[in-house]
Amino acid sequence: MRLLPLQMNTSSRTKQRSAGKDDASKGAWYRNWEGYLIVLVASFLRFYRIDTSQFEGDQVQIFRLAHDAVHHGLLPVTNGTASLGFANPPGLLYFYMLPAALSDNPVLAMLLNSFFAVTAVFLTHLFVTRYYGRFAGAVAGLLYAAAPVPLIYSRFIWQPNMMQPFVVLFFLALFRGVVDRRTGWLPLALLWLAILLQTHLTVLLLVIPLFMAVLFAPETLRWRDLGYSCLALLVVFFPYLLWELVTNFGDLAIIHSILLTQTCQHANACIDNTSWNIYLTFLGSHDPHQVSFTSNSLIHRFSTPLSWLATVLLYCVIAGLVTALALSLYWWRKSLRTARGIQVVGDGQASEMGVPKAARWRRWISLMPPPAAAGLLLLCAWQLLPPLVMVRHTLPIFTHYLLVIIPGPFILVAIFLERLRKWFSRSEDTLRLLARGLLYSVTVLILLLQTVGGTALVLDDVRGRFNSKGLDLYFSDFHSIQNAFSELDRLAKQRHVSRVYVAADFPTGQAMYFFSGQLHTPVTVFDSDRCLVLPNPADGPALLLTPPYADLTYTLLNHYASARSVEQPPMLGGNPFGIFELSTPMKEVPPQVVFGQDMQLESIQTQRFSFDGVSRMISRWNWLRSLAPAYETTHHYRVRVQLGGGEDQAIATICTFNAMRTGDRLLVAFDLPKGGVAPHTAALSVQYSISTQDMPRYGPLHLITHRHLSSRYVPLKAANGKNSIVVRTS
């Protein structure tokens, strides 16, 4: 049963709908040679040296969750924490479970991500070819295939990167109902939208084009579409619903507090052109908010023609948007005139009989734009809404917030060039022939420059012609980290060492913990922000792997250990890793305070280090008990030193590691206030906590989430039974 009777299109509507499909209807898509060229270009730029893609933080967590879910029989219900604080749905994680089931090498997951991106390019080509002609399809496909900034988001694991094919599928479903006037499109559109909502919340803006499609083509809806739509939403959001049930819908409280905060900050909202600048970024040669390229990079060498290309594409996008709006309004007005003439004739016959319900709906449908105009209006809404909505914002806006508009700009460029081509093809006079030849030449030049820009970006990325040190977090790639651990494992076997140590900082932390599980030698991974673990002097030399910018670690090694650099595995676009052979000098020190059964203080002294000019208090500890490694388990020791001035001068440092051996040495650094005088005494206290992977149960289901559950910090007692003890410093 239909919600509305399906109406026969008038001749004008049929002409409008079929006008854009003349070229496409001449042959099947697989007979168009340009489709193979588009796939070839897109595949090369997205698969070439994919092992050099970014692998840190979110990338490690996504693959690890997918891998653990497959190999431990767990059901993922979350996929990380959103920037606003609530949990992300796990939908896209299930796609990554397939490569994780085949191998524990994340490269397969990277290949899957790139495959989705290539699929998005090919779907764009098919979509534009079907509705706007073969020439437009070739232009849109090639522009999208080689676009530099979308390329960045096609070459590494991340849930927002997976939205690209589903955005195109979503609009294919809308056009099926609005332009083709076929039934069954609503469940498909809601299925793709449900998947998209699990990539990023900005996808909520696509609800507006969906609502417009319902208004434009109500006669294509059926009652059973509602049932299919609800089923699709239930299937996609079922794992996330389990998470909400486990947490008693705790995310709703977070969202409520966010809404209250946004309401309170309403007066402090910022109105600027940030969203417009980000829109322009997708037309440029690189993202200025990410790594900067060196002077010998190809992006730098071709900067002038690529900047010209960005300007030309901008004008083409604006012209395409104006063309789409003008054509849709013109066709809509023409359709209304035709419908008004038909209505005048019909009103004379039905004036005395009353107006049946179906006829009233027909009048509503006659007021809607014709199919081709409705399709153009959907495209315009898709491109205009996200930048306009984000003009006023209370939070920072990042480039990936506007990934939802891709590949819209390239479709608008293709529509504009296609309309020009049709206008120049109306007659065969000399002037129009010359203009058409010039149009083809300019189009080929644009496509060639776009391909040069995309190729230059990929080659610069894979060869490390960039510098990420100026960013808050430096760039770390999969190949560099994997190579560093391979060298560490090789050297450990070659030198027959019984223990290796890995220093992890914030950018490389999760990757360090991930790859440490693949070593064949027992390993201790520790956070090196203000801590350093050294081997037991009685166990002989060990190996230590350090991240690229571990200045404090290098300084502590020079002062408190005997370390010799044996290898420097390279890092793309940055300083190399360091592999050191180190041993701890044997020193006879009088026994001092012991906290619990865990750690014994050997000394505490104040030093000023030249690399940053900061004075630090360094405490040296002897480890008393072994901590065995366990699945996704880390140990946290919060060492607190209270200077002579009271609680306001207390300084705490948290040392985190996955395992320890009896006799290991732990160095803990405390940054002293600037201009302060080094104290002669200090009160020390130690607290302990442990973090484990959150794997809740809900009935018979064994779940896995992104969270690590940390226990409360428990104070370790000193020998005198107190929580703290006063010691002398030197």
User: Where residue 353 falls among pLDDT bands split at 50, 70, 90?
Assistant: very low
Contacts of 426 (CB under 8 A, 6+ apart): 432
Contacts of 573 (CB under 8 A, 6+ apart): 291, 464, 465, 466, 467, 468, 475
What are the structure tokens assigned to 609, written together?
Answer: 């280090």
Residue 257 or 293, more confident: 293
Residue 112 or 265, more confident: 112
Residue 18 has pLDDT above 50, yes or no: no
Residue range 424-445: average pLDDT?
A: 90
For 401-421, give one letter per residue: b (16+ CB within 10 A) or e.
bbbbbbbbbbbbbbbbbbbbb
Pairing of strands 466-467, 615-623: unpaired
Instruction: Measure the CA–CA gap between 368 and 335, rounded to whole angstroms.
Output: 9
- Return the sign of the alpha-carbon dihedral for residues 559, 561, 562, 565: negative
Residue 651 host element (H or E): strand 650-657
Helices (H), 53-106: 58-71, 93-102
Phi and psi angles of residue 71, each rounded to the nearest 5 degrees, phi first: -85, -10
Q: What is the pLDDT of residues 156-171, one digit of tens each?
A: 999 999 999 999 999 9
Residues 608, 615: contact at Cβ < 8 Å? yes
Q: What is the pLDDT of residues 531-586, one digit of tens each?
A: 999 999 988 899 999 999 888 999 999 988 999 999 999 999 889 999 999 988 87
Q: What is the pLDDT of residues 587-622, one digit of tens each?
A: 766 767 899 999 999 888 888 877 777 888 899 999
What percent of the chain is predicted at pLDDT more than 90? 68
Instruction: Measure the CA–CA gap between 157 and 55, rounded to whole angstroms.
Output: 8
Instruction: Measure the CA–CA gap between 69 and 702, rounded to whole angstroms.
Output: 10
Instruction: Measure the CA–CA gap between 578 and 313, rounded to whole angstroms.
Output: 45
Residue 134 host element (H or E): helix 134-146
DSSP state, residue 577: P
Residue 543 host element (H or E): strand 542-546
Residues 205, 404: contact at Cβ < 8 Å? yes
Instruction: Measure the CA–CA gap between 217 and 223, rounded to whole angstroms.
Output: 14
What are the structure tokens assigned to 135, written together?
Answer: 């020439």
Please report the DSSP string for 244-265 in residue order: HHHTTSHHHHHHHHHHHHHHHT
Instruction: Measure the CA–CA gap between 206 and 378, rounded to whole angstroms.
Output: 10
Closest of 490, 536, 416, 351 to residue 136, by C-alpha: 416
Instruction: Measure the CA–CA gap between 716 and 390, rounded to whole angstroms.
Output: 50
What percent of the chain is predicted at pLDDT more than 70? 90
Instruction: Measure the CA–CA gap between 262 and 268, rounded to whole angstroms.
Output: 9
Could you count the other beta carbons within 10 Å of the beta carbon of residue 647? Answer: 6
Q: How far is CA 469 from CA 294, 420, 466, 708, 719, in A?
A: 12, 46, 9, 29, 46
What pLDDT, on the 0 to 100 scale, is given for residue 449?
97
